[in-house]
């Protein structure tokens, strides 16, 4: 199949397929006599794996590690779990930071009257940078 067909079958855009090939996540495609990339079922299967890993927030380097483990039939599941757990920890850390930012902004928004007056605690808090993030020590 050509790159457009592989894109439709895998749910990965043609542009991303070319990027993943360049990044080494997908082997370089065979070429037709006209120079067009040719993909098979195993390529589509690999692209779906990559898409799902991206959907779960894994970065390209992490996906490369996952693919290496996926390709290695003598792998240890402990190695896969270690990567997954590290990613979970990273996601939870980012979620905590986002919650902290939302709480701080909510506090600033709650202090704002939201009327026709020019005074605005939100802008003042951003300007002076002294509004602590919610959860930070005073």
The predicted-structure confidence for 46-99, as pLDDT tens digits, reads as follows 999 999 999 999 999 999 999 999 999 999 999 999 999 999 999 999 999 999
What's the Rg (C-alpha) of the chain? 23
Sign of the Cα torsion 108, 109, 113, 119 reads positive
d(CA 110, CA 88): 32
The answer to whether residue 77 sits within a structural domain is no
The answer to whether residue 121 sits within a structural domain is yes
Q: Are residues 66 and 87 part of one domain?
A: no
Q: Are residues 90 and 63 part of one domain?
A: no
The answer to whether residue 8 sits within a structural domain is yes
Q: Are residues 66 and 14 part of one domain?
A: yes
d(CA 84, CA 70): 13
Domain count, the chain: 2
Percentage of the chain modeled with pLDDT above 90: 80
Question: To which residue do tokens 């951003």 refer?
Answer: 126
Q: Are residues 107 and 65 part of one domain?
A: no
Q: Are residues 86 and 64 part of one domain?
A: no
pTM of model > 0.85: no
Q: Which domain holds residue 20?
A: 3-71
């Amino acid at each position: 199949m050509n790159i457009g067909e592989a894109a439709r079958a895998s749910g990965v855009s043609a542009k991303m397929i070319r990027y993943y090939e360049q990044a080494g996540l997908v082997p370089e495609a065979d070429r037709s006599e006209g120079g067009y990339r040719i993909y098979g079922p195993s390529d589509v299967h690999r692209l779906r794996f990559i898409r799902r890993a991206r959907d779960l927030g894994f970065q390209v380097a992490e996906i490369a590690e996952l693919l290496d483990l996926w390709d290695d039939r003598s792998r240890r599941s402990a190695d896969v779990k270690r990567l997954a757990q590290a990613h979970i920890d990273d996601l939870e850390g980012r979620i905590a930071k986002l919650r902290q930012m939302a709480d701080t902004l909510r506090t600033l928004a709650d202090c704002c009257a939201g009327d026709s007056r020019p005074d605005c605690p939100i802008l003042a808090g951003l300007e002076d940078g002294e509004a602590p993030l919610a959860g930070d020590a005073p």
